[in-house]
Structure 1
Amino acid sequence: MKYSRLSILALAVATTPALGADFELSLTDDSAKGQVNFTPTTSDIQGGVGYTYHQGSRHIANIDLHAQGRTAIGNLPTTAGIGMRAIGWDDDHVDGGAIGLGGFANMNIPNVPGLSVGGSLHYAPSILSFGDSDDMTSFEARVSYRVIRNAEIFGGYRYLNTELDPSGDINLDEGLMAGMKIFF
């Protein structure tokens, strides 16, 4: 089973240039996440899919769909999006998911070429949750540096939480992260 997951991940990485605008890989102490976005930041729509493997056999998948555009916050050039993130997860004895509404923003720092800060926040109340999830919150904050024209490295914090009906809150994925993003 472990080798089949690795085969699927290797196939996804190999086909990314034909299917996507960018691919990112990020790691925390307990998880690894791959994300493929299908449209460039200049497009009006942003769509992507991701998969996270969390230590202890927890699998988390996401599908993103956002309207996006360029704007400015203060004098900082910003790419922002508003939309949804559908998240499904499976653990040994419980599983669930939700459709979170929210958005993202990535701000470039003009005084330091290549440096940007960004984040995303999506929330799903119980009406948009299913399975064992009663609500869900997905949050990410990061600082990125564009090393070369088509690659950047980043560090930040990732938080994915859901409430289980009988047992309370559970953090599906949480921690400091580091990663890289490749643009095609």
Structure 2
Amino acid sequence: MKASRIPLILLALTSSSVFAADADISLTNESAKGQINFFQTNSDMQLGAGYTYHEGSRHIGNIDFHAQGRTAVGNLPTTAGLGLRAIAWEDDRLDGGAVGLGGFATLNIPEAPGLSFTGALHYAPSILSFGDSDDMTSLELRANYRVIRNAELFVGYRYLNTDFEFRGDLDLDEGPLAGMKLFF
């Protein structure tokens, strides 16, 4: 990562409380991701932006836009959203991106206050892909624990894959993750 980008990333993350509802940072063995969501979970819409630096000079950015609401799955209180995740990535000689359709859900466990599970899945077929990407799949699964009112820790798994026309596929980011989320 160029040294000139580091101050900009730090400024964006530290000033997030001025204009964001939550921010999270997660790490895999080969990547670091920061995500900012701009609206509370009780809002009807959600807008978010994220940046991932993957070892080997791969840069991945995303912008999320979802309609969201509260519901229940069985007897579990749930926040769910449906919408779009736009992903752009750049590697040494390759770059591309896609606009994936999909959504997310966070299930809260009433019997274990503070414990919740989150899943997000977005898929972009070739018609919604550009550059070197022919299609793209984004999956993230998390187990969350709210340590205090405005912070939680999480562990999980992230999978971001793109296919190339006539050349196979590439895992842009994949592996177990750990991180924390701060609520403002």
Query: Which TM-score band (shorter chain)?
Result: over 0.9
Q: Which runs of 5 or more structure 2 residues have no equivalent in the other structure?
A: none
**Partner residue in 2 for 1:157:** 157
**Partner residue in 2 for 1:17:** 17
Distance in 1 separating the partners of 2:167 and 2:8: 33
**Partner residue in 2 for 1:181:** 181
Distance in 2 separating the partners of 1:165 and 1:129: 11
Which 10-residue stretch deviates more, 106-115 or 7-16? 7-16
Distance in 1 separating the partners of 2:43 and 2:142: 22
Structure 1: which 4+ aligned runs deviate by more than 6 Å?
none
Aligned-residue RMSD, C-alpha: 0.7
**Partner residue in 2 for 1:132:** 132
- For residues 60-84 of structure 1, the C-alpha deviation after alignment (integer angstroms, 9 at most, x for no partner) is 0000000000000000000000000
Distance in 2 separating the partners of 1:24 and 1:14: 11
Distance in 2 separating the partners of 1:167 and 1:18: 44
- Structure 1 position 120 matched with structure 2 position 120: yes
- For residues 94-137 of structure 1, the C-alpha deviation after alignment (integer angstroms, 9 at most, x for no partner) is 00000000000000000000000011000000000000000000
Distance in 1 separating the partners of 2:172 and 2:165: 15
Q: Which runs of 5 or more structure 1 residues have no equivalent in the other structure?
A: none
Distance in 2 separating the partners of 1:35 and 1:107: 20
**Partner residue in 2 for 1:60:** 60
What code does the residue aligned with 2:142 have?
Answer: R
After TM superposition, give the deviation of residue 2 of structure 1 in Å: 2.8
Which 10-residue stretch deviates more, 83-92 or 165-174? 165-174
- For residues 39-78 of structure 1, the C-alpha deviation after alignment (integer angstroms, 9 at most, x for no partner) is 0001000000000000000000000000000000000000
Map 1:94-105 onto structure 2 (within 5 A): 94-105=94-105
- Structure 1 position 4 matched with structure 2 position 4: yes
**Partner residue in 1 for 2:38:** 38
**Partner residue in 2 for 1:93:** 93
- For residues 6-53 of structure 1, the C-alpha deviation after alignment (integer angstroms, 9 at most, x for no partner) is 111111112101110000000000000000000000100000000000
**Partner residue in 2 for 1:148:** 148
What code does the residue aligned with 2:166 have?
Answer: P
**Partner residue in 1 for 2:84:** 84
What code does the residue aligned with 1:166 have?
Answer: F
What code does the residue aligned with 2:59 have?
Answer: H
SS class of match (1:2): coil
Which 10-residue stretch deviates more, 6-15 or 82-91? 6-15
What code does the residue aligned with 2:116 have?
Answer: S
- Given the two structures, how large is their TM-score scaled by the length of structure 1? 0.99
After TM superposition, give the deviation of residue 168 of structure 1 in Å: 0.7
SS class of match (2:166): coil
SS class of match (2:176): strand
